Amino acid sequence: MVAVKVVLLLTVYGIAFLALLPFVIKLLVSLERVLASLGALLAALVTLALLGALVAVALYLWYWIAKAFVRRGCKEITITA
């Protein structure tokens, strides 16, 4: 049952990520145009750093959501003789 909940959570998270992806790409493209005036190499480095930060935030949020979801679904194991 817990595995089903985790799979459903990952599915919802994946759908939400795909829904927000076009907005993130538009933001990065507009930001890259602004940074391009500083130089191509600097703009590329800043864009890659921002993408890395977005992935790190997404993974951090996913970790805490999944951890809370699994913790709520799991009950303490009791052994009776």
31 or 56: which leads in pLDDT: 56
Instruction: Tell me the mean pLDDT in the region 10-36.
Output: 76
Which of the four pLDDT bands, split at 50, 70 and 90, describes residue 26? confident
Which 3 state secondary structure label does DSSP give 58?
helix
Q: Find the farthest-apart pair of alpha carbons in the chain and give their distance in angstroms, rounded.
A: 73
pLDDT score at 5? 72
Sorted by where each begins, the domain ranges of the chain are 2-73
User: In this structure, what token pair is assigned to residue 71?
Assistant: 């913790």
What pLDDT score does 77 carry?
54
pTM exceeding 0.75 = no
3 state SS of 79 = coil
**Per-residue pLDDT tens for 42-74?**
777 777 787 888 888 888 888 887 777 777 665
